[in-house]
Structure 1
Amino acid sequence: MRPTIIVTILCSMLLSCAANNERYLFFLHNKWIEDHELNEGHPKYGKAEYREIVNAFKKEGFTVISEKRKTNTDEKVYARQVKEQIDSLLQMGVEPGKITVVGTSKGGFIAQYVSTYARNEQLNFVFIGSSYEGLVEQIPDIDLCGNILAINEKSDRGSVSLAGRIEKSTCHIEHFKNIELNTGKEHGFLFPLMKEWFEPTVKWAREDYQ
């Protein structure tokens, strides 16, 4: 995963990583950002506030690891790259509870594969706008593991709770919570930096599972 000018330097480059008390947050954006320039607004949902979201997490004290992905990024291949970065953090002594993977839309599906591949019950995951009717049957190879917060939007067509996917998990999931928002913004709820999903995500990444 190559760094960009707005990406915090990876922990593997920091000699003091294992000794500090930082919290690490991987942010995986939606497909619109993957396919368009960052300043290009969606015709219906407006601008996807990638920079604003990354900077907001940084202001909350997280070491943020993120980048603008290439068009048509393969979800499984990318998820394995993120899993390898998580492994590097763990090997250097970072506690798994201080690592959170946050994904919106397609980024949320990538994050679900990261959860599947990492298979670590203590890692934190937040899936935003990435649970829809029929996907448990259509994508059966996802087997979630970790502390999982799912956020979906009532007005987002076909959106459902992640509970059905959780029920099929073969991993023990200590903490699971599903939040259904009702902003009326349909799938566009995840484009801007909104406190409705940002604030619970920050709490989850701080290991506040209430």
Structure 2
Amino acid sequence: MKLVSVFILCIAFIAPAQGPTISAFTPKRPDASQKYLFYLHGGIVQEQGINAVSPRFGAYEYLKILDTLRSHGFHVISEARPKGTEDLDYAVKVSKQIDTLMSRGVSPENIIVVGASQGAYIAIDVARRMKNSRISYAILALCSEYALDYFLKDSVALCGNFLSIYETSDSKGSCNKLLSDKLCKTGYTEIGLRMGNGHGFIYKPYREWVLPLVQWAGGSLR
């Protein structure tokens, strides 16, 4: 499937040159000392666009999430996926972007892929393609019984440093069955939140998930 971008995220922020930014593309001359964070949003943004609203959980604050991650010192790479985008196709795109960063001198330790819900499916597919244990992956709200069955039906090793965050009131729970093995992993941490807002915890940049993620990924806490 050919991906046709109907939305290009390109927002200018008042920030120092070479400082944390948000873009849809990998920089031509990346600063190897920076950390590059790919944010892969939930499915509702793919269906409705950047102003997506759930009747149950309210607005998905996509742009605010990006700016919050940027404010913690990451160069954020993200775009709103066009409606109809296939997960595996997008995983190929992100994998190529990561390859580009590394070919331009960025260490795998400075690359973080954050996936929320449907974006977490893509993040896992990226990990399966990259097979690089030095890249970090944060998985938010993924592991329903369906997702566990989907990913455990084959024996493809998941390489990387993993963080799983889930909300205990959500149907998408612990990823221990998927991520706790030691094969090809440099680390695995899991956090179960008790906010009581179910799947809605990924809709906003709540401190409950942002700050543990930032600390795990080596960003700047504030």
Considering the TM-score relative to the shorter chain, is it more than 0.5? yes
Q: 1:147 aligns with which of 152, 158, 161?
A: 161
CA offset digits 1:46-105 (Å, max 9, x no partner): 000100010111111111100000112111110011011101111111111100000100
CA–CA distance in structure 1, aligned partners of residues 126 and 147 of structure 2: 17
Residues 1:70 and 1:9: Cα distance change in structure 2 (over 3 Å): closer
TM-superposition CA deviations, 1:143-202 (whole Å, max 9, x none)? 421000000111002x23111012467x42121011111111011111111011111111
8 Å CA contact 2:116, 2:140 repeated in 1:
yes
> Given the alignment, which residue of 1, 5, 8 partners 2:23?
8
Q: Which amino acid aligns with 1:166?
A: L
Q: CA deviation at 1:207?
A: 7.9
Does 2:53 correspond to 1:41? yes
Aligned twin of 1:79: 91
How much has 1:40 moved relative to structure 2? 3.7
The residue number in structure 1 matching 2:16 is none
Mapped pair 1:192 → 2:204: yes
1:25, 1:63 within 8 Å by CA — same for their partners in 2?
A: yes
C-alpha distance in 2, partners of 1:110/1:176?
Answer: 18
- Report the RMSD for the aligned CA atoms in angstroms: 2.0
> Residue 10 of structure 1: CA displacement?
3.2
Once structures 1 and 2 are overlaid, which stretch shifts more, 173-182 or 35-44? 35-44
The answer to whether the Cα contact below 8 Å between 1:149 and 1:176 also exists between their aligned partners in 2 is yes
Identity rate of aligned residues, in percent?
32
Q: Are the counterparts in 2 of residues 99 and 205 from structure 1 also a CA contact under 8 Å?
A: no
Q: Which has the higher strand share?
A: 2
**Alignment-mate amino acid for residue 35 of structure 1:** E
Tell me what 2:117 maps to.
105
Provide structure 2 residue ranges, at least 5 long, that are not aligned to the other structure. Answer: 12-21
Is contact 1:149–1:178 with CA below 8 Å preserved after alignment?
Answer: yes
TM-score, length of structure 1 as denominator length: 0.89
Cα 1:10/1:134, change in 2 over 3 Å: closer
Whether the 8 Å CA contact 1:27–1:66 is kept in 2: the answer is yes
Tell me which residue corresponds to 2:17.
Answer: none
